[in-house]
Amino acid sequence: DTEVTQTPKHLVMGMTNKKSLKCEQHMGHRAMYWYKQKAKKPPELMFVYSYEKLSINESVPSRFSPECPNSSLLNLHLHALQPEDSALYLCASSLVGNEQFFGPGTRLTVL
């Protein structure tokens, strides 16, 4: 299996909702990432897990909460989001120190 999967593909949520984005890979990669990408902008790194250790991007608001249940799974829990959080959320994985493989993304709309 040489792909990164993400669910759901599309998500519409209100500002009071709680939802989760899911990411899975079975390539044996020990680094997994969450990115946020706004239209016509580069991806912005949000969180990195390396050997299940979290590196936090300090500019990420606490309404985003990552979780890495095991080396193959990565979740992003969303709570009390704002309309400006609407974006494409990309998950990626890699061998440590190697190229990243990206999932198809979740397109999130916050109403």
- State the residue for tokens 């044996």: 28
Q: Does 104 interact with other proteins (rule: CB under 8 A)?
A: yes
- The nearest distance, CB 45 to other proteins, in angstroms, is 6
Identify which of residues 16 and 98 has a Cβ nearer to other proteins in the complex. 98
Smallest distance, other proteins to C-beta of residue 2, A: 12
Among 46, 78, 86, 94, which residue sits at the site for other proteins (rule: CB under 8 A)? 94
If you count them, how many residues does the chain have? 111
Q: How far is the CB of 52 from other proteins (least distance, A)?
A: 12
Write phi, then psi, for 40 (nearest 5 degrees): 60, 25
**What kind and span of H or E run contains 80?**
none
